[in-house]
Amino acid sequence: YVPDKFSANKFGVRHYAEPVSYTVDGWCERNRDALHADLVELMKKSSVSSLFETDDKRQKTVASKFRRRLKTLLEDVSRTETRYVRCVKPNSEASSSLFDAPSVCAQLRCAGVVAAVEMTRAGYPNRSGHAAFLARYGRLTSESDVESVARSLLGERRHAVGKTRVYLGPGVLEFLERLLSTAHARSATSVNTCARRYLQLRRFSVLRQTAILVQRRRRGFVRRRAFVSLVAASITLQAVARSRRARKATKHKRRRVSATRLAAWAKTRSELHKFTRVRDASVRIQTLVRRVLAVLFVEKLRRNAIERQKMENQLDELRRRLDEEKEQRERVERRLSSDTLTDESTRMLDYLRTEVVALTRTCDALRRENDILRTHHERGQQARASAQQSVAAVAAHVRFLGDKNASIKNENRQLLKATAVLKEELAMRQAIYLNQVAQNAKLRRVMESMVDTADVRGCDRSLLEELRVMADLPLHE
């Protein structure tokens, strides 16, 4: 107990870490809490029972809630594995950039952290199970027992081996970690050495295989070049023989093409001559037909004009007679009004009968003439139809001749195109021929060099003679 010098309501209690101050102001308000039921029953039976006459419905205070929560916390802690987190205030001003070292040390001291560390260092600060200890440090020795491993690694250093754990003194864990790091470094060095040796061996193997491949390809190139030179010589000989056969075939083909061209030209000339004659004949036929048609048409027009003139004259004559009869009828009517009406009417009737008979005869004559004209007209139409059929036949023949002319022209164009193609082919063959002449000259030089080389190297006499014969072959026929 430590009394306060400045206030009677304050006092202090000296704990193991440092003194803690308390105040009695508001003590009852802060600690107004309901008592336990058994404590209330006990106090009711005492001499001061009047002070504890309270109802059963008591209010729950902050202390009771705290006590209940603390009890629940203790139950949870007892069921689980405890882990503690120490909260330390760096300063009392709640500033993020200020660190009060004395205050922090006091908090750690009051929380018992310093004392716990001191006690831990006084004993065995590091602990480990047997399986974990063997799994981590057993590889450093060849022992399989925990006690043997600890004895061989630690020796006289502070440690203890229990039934389930291994207890390590201060600095022992750091020593074991240094041993493990050293072992890891040696293992890494060994692995690095093996890896580098493997890489160098593989590099050497690759270089050796590459050198073998280069040598094989060089030898193959030399042999292949010799073989290619022999193949080229044989191909050259084959080309000479094939060129001779090709020249013969080309000469035969040229003769055949020339004969075909001459036959086509002769056929074209014959067809053109036939076409010219047919065209001239068709023109003459068309001229004659058109002249006949024109003569028939003019004759028909002339007859029609004559008939029309006759009809007009007859109509004028009829009109004149009708006028005269009208005048006579008027005179007769005037006479009938007089005394001699009967005689005049009789004479007029006789006269009219005579005129009717004459008009009937004239009408019959006109009908007969009309029938004759109709017959002539039908004959003219038949002649015109036959002439039109002749003209249609001539036109069909003309169209046939035109189609024939078009086909001949098309053949002529095709012949011209074929002539152009043949000219191009001839030019190309001339170029090929000149190229073959140059190749043959080059081949002759090659053959001469081959003969000289074979003679110098002392080849077989029969082979040398064959080469000389082949070198003396004519280049062109």
Do residues 52 and 44 lie in contact, with contact meaning Cβ atoms separated by under 8 Å?
yes
Do residues 345 and 332 lie in contact, with contact meaning Cβ atoms separated by under 8 Å?
yes
Q: Side chain identity at 161, as an amino acid letter?
A: V
Most confident among 5-9, 220-224, 237-241, 281-285 (mean pLDDT) = 220-224
Cα angle for residues 302, 306, 307 (degrees, 5° grid): 115
Residue 195 has pLDDT above 90, yes or no: yes
To which H or E segment does residue 353 belong?
helix 341-457
Q: Which of 120-134, 165-179, 184-198 has the lowest mean pLDDT?
A: 120-134
Return the higher-pLDDT residue of 72 and 312. 72
Q: Report the percent of the chain where pLDDT is more than 70.
A: 77
**CA-CA distance, 123 to 170, in Å (whole number)?**
8
Q: Could you tell me the two tokens for 451?
A: 């003969």
Return the pLDDT at 191. Answer: 93
Helices marked H in 80-171? 101-111, 113-122, 130-137, 146-154
Residue 21 CB partners (closer than 8 Å, separation 6+): 4, 10, 11, 12
Return the pLDDT at 475. Answer: 38
Do residues 30 and 22 lie in contact, with contact meaning Cβ atoms separated by under 8 Å?
no
Q: Which of 8-22, 161-175, 187-201 has the lowest mean pLDDT?
A: 8-22
Average pLDDT, the chain: 77
Return the higher-pLDDT residue of 350 and 404. 404
Cα angle for residues 346, 319, 365 (degrees, 5° grid): 85
19: β partners: 14
pLDDT band at 242; cut points 50, 70, 90: confident
Q: Which of 4-13, 83-92, 141-150, 440-449 has the lowest mean pLDDT?
A: 440-449
- Three-class DSSP category at 23: strand
Return the pLDDT at 212. Answer: 92
Q: Could you tell me the two tokens for 10?
A: 């304050």
Report phi then psi at 330, rounded to 5: -65, -40
Most confident among 70-74, 325-329, 333-337 (mean pLDDT) = 70-74
Q: What is the mean pLDDT of residues 162-188?
A: 87
Sign of the alpha-carbon dihedral angle for 409, 412, 418, 423: negative
In terms of C-beta density within 10 A (0-12 exposed, 13-18 middle, 19 or more buried), how is residue 22 classed? exposed
Q: What is the mean pLDDT of residues 160-185?
A: 86
Residue 36 has pLDDT above 80, yes or no: no
Return the pLDDT at 347. Answer: 63
**CA-CA distance, 151 to 433, in Å (whole number)?**
105
pLDDT band at 20; cut points 50, 70, 90: confident
Return the higher-pLDDT residue of 91 and 5. 91
Most confident among 58-72, 197-211, 228-242 (mean pLDDT) = 197-211
Of 16, 31, 39, 103, the residue nearest 63 (C-alpha): 31
Do residues 143 and 137 lie in contact, with contact meaning Cβ atoms separated by under 8 Å?
no
**CA-CA distance, 272 to 431, in Å (whole number)?**
37
Residue 355 has pLDDT above 60, yes or no: yes
pLDDT band at 200; cut points 50, 70, 90: very high
Enter the pTM of the model: 0.29
Which residue is it, tokens 């035969």? Answer: 252
Return the higher-pLDDT residue of 272 and 465. 272
Return the pLDDT at 477. Answer: 33
Residue 462 has pLDDT above 80, yes or no: no
> Residue 332's CB: how many other CB atoms inside 10 A?
19
Report phi then psi at 337, rounded to 5: -75, -15
